[in-house]
Amino acid sequence: MKSSHPKLLAENRKARFRFEIIETLEAGLSLSGSEAKSAKTGGMNLGDAYAIVKNRECWLLNCHISPYAYDSMAHMKEPMRSRKLLLKRSEIDRVMGKLKAKGLTLVALDAHISEKGWIKMTLGLAKGKNAPDRKEDIKKRDIERELGGRYKLR
């Protein structure tokens, strides 16, 4: 029996600090067999990963998946290659419209294993924060920590 919550493979912690997340969506990730094994064993890094829409297809860029240690062809695979994101056509069209109209960015927030065992990517439509906004977030977090987490500041 599988658990009801997905297993987190990788997380982009900088994304929520650098960007204001407006909307999130979940996409499948097209990987080769050894890339999937490497990702499931912790070989995925989403440090500066983001997605683009090109020719009505969604692609993940700057995602590093280290070569799988037990793959004989591991030295031939490119760890930083572009990977296709699996979204419905309607979702791609909706996201493409928002990216063009509002000047937003599609940022990779985390990668996880779904209930069925597929590797999924959580993407966020994001707007960049400037330095004063980031400092304000740090102040709020410090105040919440001092209050012992009893109160949430909005």
The helix/strand/coil state of 95 is helix
How confident is residue 1, by pLDDT bands cut at 50, 70 and 90? very low
How do residues 26-39 score in pLDDT, each as one tens digit? 999 998 888 888 88
Going by the DSSP 8-state scheme, the letter that residue 6 receives in this structure is P
List of residues 6+ apart from 102 with CB closer than 8 A? 127
pLDDT in tens, 59-97: 999 998 888 877 776 566 788 888 999 999 999 999 888
pTM, two decimals, is 0.77
Q: How confident is the model at residue 115 (pLDDT cuts 50, 70, 90)?
A: confident
The pLDDT > 90 percentage for the chain reads 28
Mean pLDDT of the chain: 84
Cα gap 59→141, rounded to integer Å:
34
Rg, Å, the chain Cα set: 17
Q: How many CA atoms lie within 13 A of 47 on its CB side?
A: 6
